[in-house]
């Protein structure tokens, strides 16, 4: 818990640094190349690709920057498809795309009643015995995340996509989380924990 509080404070401290200001209309024009996978309005029709609608602009820009960094041999988020897509993008392009998708409304996801009780317990309280911190601390009571710290919104996201990301954090395949926060938590989650949380958080709103 102390690790998460420290990281949150650190990220909030640097949140005021200069960043490119995104333009929604410019982002809409630039999003044409993204529509095939993510949908014209950011609501991806296929659950292997994330919904971008309603996501924090700064989080989208951060991910794009890290896809580009990894594709050019630096530290970031390695992804064969997104690395190629992000390569030609400037910082302004990333900010514009983030602004556009953040302005769109995400389509809601229903929650299977069978996962509500267990999902709520893990999301809100974690599991002290297993050293699992609650998700609510960073992602908020409604799964809205925290823009200033670049913690993503999870509400309305495809459960299959959330599940895939948790599994990649657990295996270390995805490693662009600040101070390894998500990796540290995910390594303690069972397959069942991940399946339940993925469905539960996607339905928060």
Cβ-based neighbours of 150, under 8 Å, separated by 6 or more: 11, 56, 58, 59, 62
Structure confidence at residue 205 (pLDDT): 84
Mean pLDDT rounded to a whole number for the chain: 92
Q: Which residue has the tokens 């983030």?
A: 98
Whether the predicted model's global pTM rises above the 0.75 cut: yes
Residue 176 backbone phi and psi in degrees, to 5: -105, 25
Inter-residue long-range contacts of 77-81, CB under 8 Å, 24+ positions, other chains counted:
77/174, 77/175, 77/176, 81/37
Closest CA relative to residue 197, chosen from 127, 129, 123: 123
Residue-wise pLDDT for 20-72, tens only, equals 899 999 999 999 999 999 999 999 999 999 999 999 999 999 999 999 999 99
The pLDDT of residue 11 is above 90: no
Structure confidence at residue 29 (pLDDT): 98
Q: Work out the average pLDDT over 188-198.
A: 98
Structure confidence at residue 83 (pLDDT): 97
């Amino acid at each position: 818990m102390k690790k998460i509080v420290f990281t949150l404070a650190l990220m909030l401290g640097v949140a005021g640094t200069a960043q490119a200001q995104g333009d929604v209309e410019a982002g809409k024009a630039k999003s044409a190349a993204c529509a095939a996978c993510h949908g014209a309005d950011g609501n991806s029709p296929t659950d292997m690709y994330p919904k971008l609608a309603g996501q924090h602009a700064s989080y989208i820009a951060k991910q794009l920057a890290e896809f580009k960094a990894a594709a050019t041999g630096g530290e970031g988020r390695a992804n064969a498809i997104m690395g190629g897509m992000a390569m030609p993008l400037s910082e302004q392009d990333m900010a514009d795309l983030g602004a556009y998708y953040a302005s769109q409304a995400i389509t809601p996801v229903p929650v299977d009643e069978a996962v509500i009780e267990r999902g709520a317990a893990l999301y809100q309280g974690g599991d002290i015995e297993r050293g699992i911190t609650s998700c609510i601390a960073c992602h908020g009571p409604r799964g809205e995340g925290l823009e200033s710290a670049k913690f993503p919104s999870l509400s309305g996201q495809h459960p299959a996509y959330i599940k895939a990301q948790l599994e990649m954090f657990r295996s270390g395949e995805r490693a662009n989380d600040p101070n390894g926060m998500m990796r540290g938590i995910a390594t303690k989650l069972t397959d069942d924990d991940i399946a339940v949380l993925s469905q539960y958080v996607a339905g928060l709103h």
